[in-house]
Amino acid sequence: MKHKVTLIPGDGIGPEIVEATLRVIEAAGVEIEWDRHEAGMLAYEKCGNPVPDELLESVRTNKVALKGPTTTTVGKGFRSANVTLRQKLDLYTNLRPVRSIGGVHSRFEKVNLVIVRENTEDLYSGIEKLISPGVTQAIKVVTEKASLRIARWAFEYALKNNRQRVTLVHKANIMKISDGMFLDSFETVAKEYPDIKADNRIVDALCMNLVMDPCQYDILLLGNMFGDIVSDLAAGLVGGLGMVPGANIGDNCSVFEAVHGSALDIAGKNIANPTALIFSAVLMLRHLGENEAADDIWKAILVTISIGNNLTKDLGGNASTEEYTNQLVKEIQD
Ligand code: NAI
């Protein structure tokens, strides 16, 4: 069956790792008609809108998108294309599986965490202003509806994926009303799932626990801001940002993308690690029902990394993005 998927190559290392990912998907024998669209800086320069209507329409129609990272300027410029996409398409779940892979040098060997991040609210509300010279304000929005919805999603994921525990991460000792509601909603939903252990941690203590012993956690459920920060921390536990995939999931459509950004420091050098985006494509292929191809790609990555001859620089090797991808393609076709 031929699928139609929206493709957003992005910028920075985006086009390089997207190219690698398309080669690997093709080698696995999945037929996809790609509907290419620009987003972020490139779209903004072309039409003055980082998330053009045609892009939104394409994702709504195809229901699935694969996205490379997009740059957002710091402290000025247009609003993040990622935040806009997630909010406009109501992609309320950000799923980020964080797993140790044999052969990747890291401090821990058996990390198997799932990060579930609420993707539409919190300090990402976009309500931020200069009140008077020298005084600013940003508003953290937390609604009961979105809190109940993401908690239910996390418990359902636990059930379907044979996970035992969901830990809610918050700062309700300080933000008693907003994070307090996030926590209360979680506890309400937890009662509907008596077979799944539910507990909570204050975010600062969680960070300490994670760097000391990440294997003690199963599913972590976080709001948008803490979810963003803890995701990068967790990536550091399993070999870095080049290894962690992600999926933005809504009730009607999903956008698959790596956790990392556009990595401008290494863009255009053919040295970026495409694994995180390829793992995101594995999630996408499972979503499309292409489980055999997803398994083949997953195994090719495990074998290539465990042999260790053709790894990119971040994994301790000397291979280019292209050489690493050639090896994956070879493994899939063997
Ligand atoms: P970043 O994730 O792009 O890079 C952080 C560090 O990790 C850099 O040293 C980079 O070289 C390295 N790195 C990241 N991905 C890598 C890969 N695949 N292979 C090897 N090394 C990799 O974060 P940074 O530098 O803070 O952000 C750069 C831009 O990306 C910003 O404009 C930010 O807004 C944007 N961004 C976009 C995201 C998205 O489109 N989903 C997510 C995160 C950031």
* 251-271 as b/e: b if 16+ CB within 10 A: eebbbbbbbbbbbeebbeebb
Separate counts of helices (H) and strands (E) for the chain: 11, 12
Residue 204 annotated to the active site: yes
Q: What are phi and psi of 113, to 5 degrees?
A: -105, 150
Residue 124 annotated to the active site: yes
CA 148, distance to chain mean position in Å, is 21
Per-residue pLDDT of the chain (334 residues; tens, 9 = 90+): 799 999 999 999 999 999 999 999 999 999 999 999 999 999 999 999 999 999 999 999 999 999 999 999 898 999 999 999 999 999 999 999 999 999 999 999 999 999 999 999 999 998 999 999 999 999 999 999 999 999 999 999 999 999 999 999 999 999 999 999 999 999 999 999 999 999 999 999 999 999 999 999 999 999 999 999 999 999 999 999 999 999 999 999 999 999 999 999 999 999 999 999 999 999 999 999 999 999 999 999 999 999 999 999 999 999 999 999 999 999 999 8
**pTM for the structure as a whole:** 0.97
Residue 1 pLDDT: 74
Ordered by where they begin, the domains of the chain are 1-99+240-334 (3.40.718.10), 107-237 (3.40.718.10)
Could you identify the atom of ligand 1 that is nearest to the CA of residue 17?
18
- Classify residue 163 as exposed, middle or buried by CB count within 10 Å of its CB (0-12, 13-18, 19+): middle
Residue 279 pLDDT: 98
Ligand 1 centroid to residue 316 C-alpha, Å: 18
Q: Which pair of tokens denotes residue 132? A: 């008077």
Q: Is the C-beta atom of 117 inside 6 A of ligand 1? A: no
> Which strands, in side-by-side order, build the sheet including 93-99?
32-36, 3-8, 64-67, 254-256, 247-249, 93-99, 112-118, 219-222, 165-170, 197-202
Question: Which residue out of 124, 157, 217, 324 is catalytically annotated?
Answer: 124
Task: Give the C-alpha separation, 73 to 66, whole Å.
Answer: 22
Residue 28 pLDDT: 98
φ/ψ region of 289 (left if φ > 0, alpha if ψ in -120 to 50, else beta) reads left
Residue 39's CB: how many other CB atoms inside 10 A?
Answer: 27
Ligand 1 centroid to residue 262 C-alpha, Å: 5
CA 213, distance to chain mean position in Å, is 22
Task: Give the C-alpha separation, 207 to 263, whole Å.
Answer: 24
Task: Give the C-alpha separation, 143 to 92, whole Å.
Answer: 12
CA atoms within 13 A on the CB side of 101: 26
Angle between helices 53-62 and 81-88 (to 10 degrees): 50
- Nearest residue (by CA) to ligand 1, atom 12, is 263
Ligand 1 centroid to residue 156 C-alpha, Å: 30
Task: Give the C-alpha separation, 257 to 177, whole Å.
Answer: 32
- Nearest residue (by CA) to ligand 1, atom 39, is 69
